Amino acid sequence: MPGLLSSPVFLTVIWLLSLRLGRAQIQTDEVSAVQYGHMQSNVTLACGKSQVRMPVTWRLDHGAVLPWHQVTSDGTLLLLHADHSAQGNYSCHDSRGLLLHSVRLRLGYPPGKLNVSCRVPNHTHVRCSWTEQVRTFLPAEYTASFRGRHDLQPCVLNVARKHCDVNNLSFWQTMHTLNLTETNALGSETTLHSVKLINQLQPNPPESLVVEPLEGHPRRLLVSWDYPVSWPLDDAFLLIFHIRYRPQGSVYWSEVFTSDSHVVITDALAGHLHQVQIQARDEFNSDTKWSEWSPLLLVRPWEAVSSTTEPPEETFTDYLFPFGTKPETSTAKSHNSVHPEDEGSLGLVILLVMLTVVILTIILSLIFVVWVRQRRHDHVTKQELNSMVKMKSVPI
């Protein structure tokens, strides 16, 4: 046995094992030792748990220059007003250069309040999304719950997408509160957000919008669509639809409201390309929101093939104020759909109108001047005649 213990092979095995264990020990230290600090503040890094009584040197990331710092007598490193660039792997070494301790420093801020908004695409689903008011630069964990007067439900988190979902909402009450807590290494913050479901109920836009010309009808368009898939097909929850359309280039929309799943437009402008869009809302509750608009569709009504005179290809401009339409009042997005060329031709029209007005004014004032002079001349001639008559009647 003693022979075995002193055998060179055994000793080598022991030495190799201790080497591996030692290295593993250092590695786990490196991986596990993360210290978090407040950005823009003084951060202290200790050289191991026990105070070191000998002089130590600190290194950062394999030789990078240390940021602004002090080393105290017990070997603690004090980083002054540490910022982003102070983050990294720090190690302290004894006078012979042997590694005593290493630590990874990450800097950031404690969480702040979150900006929360919730969407309700049908009567049983709520999705709340958030954005940070404070950028923390640190990994965080979240908890979320959705509380009504009689119930408490989890809000299922998707931290990467920064939202949470309440599925199968059990009670349709007016007020609910989302309780969302963010926690990181430096602190924790809870945000409470009140949701009035009825005001947030907003269907997704109707789907599969189709606009078709009707053969033999140059002023008609058949518009049809489907309920959004996220809205239940149930007589208890009906939608009302708002369709709007206009000749391409016009700024005036015509509109139709219906609860059906299709509608026939009868006053399209023959031969012109038309833009058509649709949105939806809960039929019974006008406090709820209209959906976003569906994407614009471009369709031209049916045209007789035999027509020799090609219909004007250029876009329609509003020379005439169409009846039963209302001017664009909604979003800038719709304004964007007016092409720049249209704006150019509109400018040209305004210029022409102004020019006409100026010319008319000049002609009218000329006529007026001529008329006034003529009148004065007439007047004078009349007076002369009068006086002549008078002179004649005077007895000589």
34 binds ligand NAG (CB under 6 A): no
Residue 142 φ/ψ, nearest 5 degrees: -130, 150
Q: Which of residues 200-259 bind ligand NAG (CB under 6 A)?
A: 230, 232
The answer to whether the CB of 239 falls within 8 A of the CB of 231 is yes
How many residues sit in the footprint of ligand NAG (CB under 6 A)? Answer: 15
Give the CA distances from residue 345 to residues 210, 216, 245, 337, 342, in Å, rounded to whole numbers and listed in that order.
Answer: 31, 32, 21, 15, 5
Q: How far apart are CA 312 and CA 319, in angstroms?
A: 15
Q: Which two tokens stand for residue 220?
A: 């008609």
Among 35, 57, 124, 345, binds ligand NAG (CB under 6 A): 124
CB of 165 to ligand NAG, least distance (A): 8
Work out how close the CB of 102 gets to ligand NAG at its nearest, in angstroms, rounded to a whole number.
8
**Residue 125 binding ligand NAG, by CB under 6 A:** yes
Residues 63-82 binding ligand NAG (CB under 6 A) are 80
C-beta of 59: minimal distance to ligand NAG in Å? 11
Task: Supply the minimum distance, in Å, between the C-beta of residue 229 and ligand NAG.
Answer: 7
Minimum CB distance to ligand NAG smaller for 30 or for 318: 30
Q: What span, in angstroms and rounded, lies between the C-alpha atoms of 350 and 363?
A: 20
Nearer to ligand NAG by C-beta: 30 or 207?
A: 30
Residue 151: half-sphere exposure toward Cβ, Cα within 13 Å: 13
Whether 176 and 95 have beta carbons less than 8 Å apart is answered as no
Q: Is 31 in the site for ligand NAG (CB under 6 A)?
A: yes
303 lies in the site for ligand NAG, by CB under 6 A: no
Token code pair at residue 187: 């602190």
Nearer to ligand NAG, 148 or 249 (CB): 148
Q: Shortest approach of ligand NAG to residue 144 CB, angstroms?
A: 17
Q: Distance between terminal CA atoms of the chain?
A: 179
Smallest gap from residue 218 Cβ to ligand NAG (A):
40
Amino acid, res. 39:
M
121 sits near ligand NAG (criterion: CB under 6 A): yes
Min. distance of Cβ 150 from ligand NAG in angstroms? Answer: 21
Residue 195 CB, nearest approach to ligand NAG (Å): 15
- Which C-beta is closer to ligand NAG: that of 24 or that of 298? 24
| Distance in Å, CB of 29 to ligand NAG, minimum | 9
Give the one residue of 122, 200, 254, 279 binding ligand NAG; rule: CB under 6 A: 122
Q: At its nearest, how many Å lie between ligand NAG and the CB of residue 88?
A: 5
Site string for ligand NAG, 180-199 (x = CB under 6 A): --------------------
Grouping H, G, I as helix, E, B as strand and the rest as coil, residue 87 is: coil
Question: Taking contact as CB under 6 A, which single stretch among the options 120-128, 254-262, 296-304, 361-369 is the one that binds ligand NAG?
Answer: 120-128
In our burial notation (b when 16+ CB lie closer than 10 A, e otherwise), range 230-260 reads ebeeeeebebbbbbbbbbbbbbebbeeeeee
Q: Count Cβ atoms within 10 A of the Cβ of residue 54 and give its class: 0-12 exposed, 13-18 middle, 19 or more buried.
A: exposed
Residue from the set 29, 30, 94, 207 that interacts with ligand NAG by CB under 6 A: 30
Q: Which of 340, 343, 299 is nearest to 317 (CA)?
A: 343
Sheet strands (E) in 32-174: 34-38, 41-45, 57-60, 69-71, 77-82, 88-93, 99-108, 114-122, 125-132, 141-147, 152-154, 156-158, 163-166
Q: Write the DSSP string, 198-249.
A: HHHB-PPPPEEEEEEEETTEEEEEEEEEE--TTS--BTTB-EEEEEEEEETT
Site for ligand NAG in 79-118 (CB under 6 A): 80, 88-89, 104
Asked if residue 59 binds ligand NAG (CB under 6 A), the reply is no
Interacting span for ligand NAG (CB under 6 A) from 122-130, 240-248, 263-271, 380-388: 122-130
Q: What angle do CA 7, 10, 16 make, to 5 degrees?
A: 140
Q: Name the minimum Å distance from CB 42 to ligand NAG.
A: 4
The residues in 323-342 that bind ligand NAG, with binding defined as CB under 6 A, are none
- Residue ranges in contact with ligand NAG by CB under 6 A: 30-31, 41-42, 61, 80, 88-89, 104, 121-122, 124-125, 230, 232
